[in-house]
């Protein structure tokens, strides 16, 4: 926890400096300002209205920096534990899980796969309920429950028992990733989101490093209280997750108004800048409607990123779940495998953060995703052509960063281009439905009989990585075309809302933002 938190804190200064710069584009939109005035101030004045712009920007930077300190460490820890508890079955397998339970390769793959079925089913409903229940209640409850499920995996004695527990684990873990992305989008502006997603998501690659180190230490408990070493991996990591879940009830705010360690002025600044960036989210007209769900599902930019997410998930989970097995089957001992698994994931951690900072600074999602994916193309190509085990192991230092580092820009991309709240909630959720559908695919791509070459699997991963590049380029050109069309048809699009001098209170303007959302002419799609 200390390494993760200290690294997250080390990038806060950089991200905070970027925050005020990146939000300036949206702040100058006339329609956004109109809705902002009525949604937040209700016509009343604020001491910030006449403040010097330079001084106001300094205060906003300070508020965002404080927000980072309050929000990001807990979200980072939550997702680190989510990914750790989901993928530690790979370390347990190396430590003797499959042999200890007398499972075949197919039964092991079923245990890995079965998690994703309830996992996928839980993602969309939980995202739609997140605002209603409140993040401070829903997210810690999920973590506490899944910690219990992880610990129970260490007590099972058969294939059927393990499969059952993992199905329940998927049900309570599924909401976490889309929930965190949606949660952060309620605190940060669109141009700040990739870095924040990267800070918490980089813990996924960090969890791969931690998982190897922890497993190497924990398996020395083999035989303690009659439990094998692989069982203690589950038991200890599960207990820790539940303890962190209980702590989350006291530390996670549901809205900017509930932020602790921040005075009322800082909270007001955060709310004002969010209203400028996403006007539709700060009116009293933004309510749940199945129409918004269907609008998300019919948006071409959402469908393209859905396909990208599926391919990304297939490659990503293949690395997460099977990298220890891949390294082990290259000819390294079980204990050495746990340690050698650390390096590629640590590389992924740093590249993920660097790529996200670049993405937010450029205010671009497509180009960083394409460039990052080229690392994956290079890594898979080297593994495919090489026969030397150390060269193949070295290629993992390209494939892991090339896969992991693309996720934050793509996640931010899905969130950036969907408004209002429930349309965004749907888009984020179905994006991760696609990711985890890819996770199901990945569980069947690494049969032991194909080790250590995995020729068919590497070709599939290479093809998917190339298609991610192609899909990103296609989506970028589509979004650019849609931006131009909205400008060209501005008057036609806004005609039904009668935005004239009679709309002094901004009622029609607010309705236009809520009903049109990302299709509003003043909403610029992020490329």
Sign, CA dihedral 383-388-392-395, equals: negative
Q: Which residues fall within 8 angstroms of residue 266, CB to CB, at 6 or more apart? A: 59, 62, 63, 66, 259
Structure tokens at 96: 């003797």
Mean pLDDT within 220-234: 92
> Is residue 261's pLDDT more than 60?
yes
> Is residue 269's pLDDT more than 70?
yes
Does 452 sit behind a cis peptide bond, omega within 30 degrees of 0 on the bond before it? yes
pLDDT band at 205 (very low <50, low <70, confident <90, very high): low
Pick the more confident residue, 153 or 14.
153
**Residues 330, 334, 336, CA angle at the centre, nearest 5°?**
80
Mean pLDDT within 451-465: 94
Nearest to 319 by CA among 376, 372, 385, 366: 376
The lowest-confidence range among 47-56, 175-184, 328-337 is 47-56
Calculate Rg over the CA atoms of the chain: 23
Q: Which H or E run contains 467?
A: helix 455-488
pLDDT at residue 299, as a whole number: 95
CA distance 9 to 15: 10
> Is residue 12's pLDDT more than 60?
no
pLDDT band at 504 (very low <50, low <70, confident <90, very high): low
> What does the domain layout of the chain look like in residue ranges?
73-259+289-488
Structure tokens at 45: 């004045």
CA distance 431 to 161: 31
Q: Which residues fall within 8 angstroms of residue 66, CB to CB, at 6 or more apart? A: 261, 262, 266
Region for 134 from its dihedrals, namely left if φ exceeds 0, alpha if ψ lies in -120 to 50, beta otherwise: left
pLDDT at residue 284, as a whole number: 61
Residue with tokens 């950036």: 416
Average pLDDT, the chain: 85
- Model pLDDT for residues 97-117, shown as the tens digit of each residue: 999 999 998 899 899 889 888
Helices 264-277, 12-27: crossing angle, 10 deg rounding: 50
Residues making up the chain, counted from first to last: 527
> Is residue 433's pLDDT more than 80?
yes
> Is residue 449's pLDDT more than 90?
no
> Is residue 39's pLDDT more than 70?
no
Residue 394's Cβ-count burial label (10 Å; 0-12, 13-18, 19+) is: middle
CA distance 273 to 270: 5
pLDDT band at 2 (very low <50, low <70, confident <90, very high): very low
pLDDT band at 54 (very low <50, low <70, confident <90, very high): confident
Mean pLDDT within 373-395: 94
pLDDT at residue 24, as a whole number: 39
CA distance 112 to 93: 11
Q: Which residues fall within 8 angstroms of residue 400, CB to CB, at 6 or more apart? A: 205, 208, 319, 323, 344, 345, 347, 348, 379
Q: How many CB atoms lie within 10 A of CB 484?
A: 10
Looking at domain 73-259+289-488, which CATH architecture does it have? Up-down Bundle (1.20)
Residue 63's Cβ-count burial label (10 Å; 0-12, 13-18, 19+) is: buried
CA distance 49 to 56: 9
Residue with tokens 């997140």: 130
pLDDT at residue 385, as a whole number: 93
Q: How far is CA 14 from CA 11, 124, 195, 258, 323, in A?
A: 5, 33, 10, 25, 32
**Residues 53, 55, 58, CA angle at the centre, nearest 5°?**
110
CA distance 403 to 377: 9
For residues 226-254, one letter each, b for 16 or more C-beta atoms within 10 angstroms of the residue's C-beta and e for the rest, the string is eebbbbbbbbbbbebbbebbeebeeebbb
SS (H, E, C) 291-350: HHHHHHHCCHHHHHHHHHHHHHHHHHHHHHHHHHHHHHHCCCCHHHHHHHCHHHHHHHHH
Q: Are 427 and 418 in contact (CB under 8 A)?
A: yes
Max mean pLDDT among 51-55, 285-289, 416-420, 449-453 falls in 416-420
Mean pLDDT within 274-302: 81
pLDDT at residue 32, as a whole number: 34
DSSP letter at 249 equals H
pLDDT at residue 280, as a whole number: 65
Residue 261's Cβ-count burial label (10 Å; 0-12, 13-18, 19+) is: exposed
- Model pLDDT for residues 312-352, shown as the tens digit of each residue: 999 998 988 788 889 988 988 888 887 888 899 889 888 98
Q: Are 212 and 341 in contact (CB under 8 A)?
A: yes
């Amino acid at each position: 926890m200390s390494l993760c938190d200290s690294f997250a804190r080390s990038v806060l200064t950089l991200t905070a400096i970027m925050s005020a710069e990146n939000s300036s584009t949206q702040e100058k939109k006339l329609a956004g300002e109109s809705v902002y005035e009525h949604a937040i101030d209700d016509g009343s004045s604020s001491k910030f209205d006449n403040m010097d712009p330079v001084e106001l920007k300094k205060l906003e930077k300070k508020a965002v920096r404080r927000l980072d300190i309050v929000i990001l460490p807990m979200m980072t820890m939550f997702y680190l534990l989510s990914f750790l508890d989901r993928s530690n079955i790979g370390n347990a397998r190396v430590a003797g899980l499959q042999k200890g339970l007398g499972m075949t390769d197919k039964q092991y793959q079923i245990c890995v796969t079965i998690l994703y079925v309830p996992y996928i089913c839980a993602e969309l409903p939980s995202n739609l309920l997140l605002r209603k229940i409140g993040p401070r209640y829903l997210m810690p409850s999920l973590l506490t429950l899944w910690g219990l499920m992880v610990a129970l995996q260490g007590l099972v004695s058969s294939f059927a028992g393990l499969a059952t527990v993992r199905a329940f684990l998927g049900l309570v873990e599924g909401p976490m990733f889309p929930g965190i992305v949606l949660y952060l989008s309620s605190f940060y502006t669109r141009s700040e989101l990739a870095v924040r997603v990267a800070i918490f998501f980089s813990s996924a690659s960090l969890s791969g490093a931690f998982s190897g180190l922890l497993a190497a230490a924990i398996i020395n408990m083999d035989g303690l209280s009659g439990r094998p070493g692989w069982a203690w991996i589950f038991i200890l990591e599960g207990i820790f997750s539940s303890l962190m879940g209980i702590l989350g009830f006291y530390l996670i705010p549901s809205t900017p108004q509930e932020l602790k360690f921040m005075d009322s002025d800082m909270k007001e600044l955060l709310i004002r800048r969010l209203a400028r960036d996403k006007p539709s989210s700060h009116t009293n007209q933004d309510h749940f409607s199945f129409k918004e769900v269907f609008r998300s599902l019919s948006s071409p930019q959402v469908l393209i990123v859905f396909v990208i997410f599926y391919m990304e998930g297939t490659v990503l989970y293949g690395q997460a779940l099977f990298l220890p097995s891949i390294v082990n089957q290259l000819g390294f001992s079980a204990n050495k495998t746990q340690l050698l698994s650390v390096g590629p994931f640590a590389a992924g951690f740093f590249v993920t953060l660097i790529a996200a900072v670049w993405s937010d600074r450029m205010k671009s999602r497509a180009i960083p995703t394409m460039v990052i994916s080229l690392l994956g193309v290079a890594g898979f190509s080297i593994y495919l052509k090489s026969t030397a085990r150390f060269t193949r192991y070295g290629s993992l230092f390209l494939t892991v960063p090339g896969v992991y580092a693309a996720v934050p820009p793509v996640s931010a991309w899905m969130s950036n281009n969907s408004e209002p709240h429930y349309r965004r909630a749907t888009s984020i959720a179905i994006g991760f439905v696609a990711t985890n559908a890819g996770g199901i695919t990945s569980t069947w791509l690494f049969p032991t009989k194909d080790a250590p070459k995995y020729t068919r699997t590497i070709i599939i991963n290479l093809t998917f990585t190339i298609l991610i590049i192609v899909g990103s380029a296609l989506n970028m050109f589509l979004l650019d075309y849609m931006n131009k069309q909205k400008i060209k048809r501005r008057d036609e699009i806004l005609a039904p809302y009668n935005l004239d001098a009679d709309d002094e209170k901004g009622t029609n303007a607010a309705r236009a933002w809520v009903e049109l959302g990302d299709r509003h002419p003043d909403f610029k799609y992020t490329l």
